[in-house]
Amino acid sequence: QKEVEQNSGPLSVPEGAIASLNCTYSDRGSQSFFWYRQYSGKSPELIMSIYSNGDKEDGRFTAQLNKASQYVSLLIRDSQPSDSATYLCAVRPYNNAGNMLTFGGGTRLMVKP
Amino acid sequence: EPEVTQTPSHQVTQMGQEVILRCVPISNHLYFYWYRQILGQKVEFLVSFYNNEISEKSEIFDDQFSVERPDGSNFTLKIRSTKLEDSAMYFCASSEDGDGGYTFGSGTRLTVV
């Protein structure tokens, strides 16, 4: 069973701080990694994708991937109250004919004004 | 911005009835998916669809479920003989290629009573 694990939180950070969200995965051959944001009662929204080891930056968001440690993280700089949501890590398993994604349970982020 | 459209937004059905959930993927996307999320739980893969056929399905997607692309724009999920445990949010998604992340629709909340 291919697993994606996340701390459920809530992770509480003050406005303007850096929020750090973490995710581990069990399928060592996984090649594609995604972060989605899900507001309560809404659908997941793609924030970042990362495919290679290292960092990838997009605005206030930085995704970090370490395949050797089977670890992917998301940093949110200058956190805003509007960033309060559940962040879902998703992994595409290796040798996947149907392009399915396996989702973690999500980390709930609360940004306090 | 292009979006995936799902109808209805909320469906209430009696146990044992059949329901059809409808989706209009983004027009130039080639890959289509159905996921579900039981309240408070992970987003779970059901099925992926490419080139007018199922490319992968999960253990959840048994004979009770079927998908169809009846014309050039719609993508439907049929659930026969619904059970109480089928109550969930059902998300349709589409992607342009098999490597990237998906765009999710806003979801259909299915309530089986």
- Tens-digit pLDDT profile for residues B65-113: 999 998 878 999 999 999 999 999 999 999 998 777 899 999 999 999 9
Which of chain B's residues have a Cβ under 8 Å away from the Cβ of A103? 42-44
Beta strands in chain A (DSSP E): 4-5, 11-14, 19-25, 32-38, 45-50, 54-58, 61-66, 71-76, 85-92, 102-103, 107-112
pLDDT band with cut points at 50, 70 and 90 for residue B1: confident
Which of chain A's residues have a Cβ under 8 Å away from the Cβ of B44? 103
Which of chain A's residues have a Cβ under 8 Å away from the Cβ of B30? none
Q: Collect the ranges in chain A with pLDDT lower than 50.
A: none
Q: Output the pLDDT for position A55.
A: 97
Interface test with B, best of A23, A58, A99 (most B CBs within 10 A): A99
Q: Output the pLDDT for position A1.
A: 67
Q: For residue A63, which of A23, A4, A11 has the smallest C-alpha distance?
A: A23
Q: Is the Cβ–Cβ distance between B104 and B45 less than 8 Å?
A: no
Q: What single-letter amino acid sits at A30? A: S
Query: For residue A16, how many other CB atoms are within 10 A of its CB?
Result: 11
Q: Output the pLDDT for position B72.
A: 78
Which of chain B's residues have a Cβ under 8 Å away from the Cβ of A33? none
Q: Output the pLDDT for position A46.
A: 95
A97:B107 CB<8 A = no
Instruction: Write out pLDDT tens, residues B26-65.
Output: 998 999 999 999 999 999 999 999 989 999 999 999 999 9
Q: Output the pLDDT for position A84.
A: 98
- Among B41, B42, B106, select the one facing A43 at the smallest CB separation: B106
- Taking any CB pair shorter than 8 Å as contact, residues of chain A touching chain B are 32, 34, 36, 42-46, 49, 51, 88, 90, 96-106
Q: Is the Cβ–Cβ distance between B31 and B69 less than 8 Å?
A: no
Task: Tokens for B34, please give them.
Answer: 């159905």
CA distance B64 to B39: 21
B103:A36 CB<8 A = no
Q: Output the pLDDT for position B78.
A: 98
Q: For residue A36, which of B43, B33, B3, B89 has the smallest C-alpha distance?
A: B43
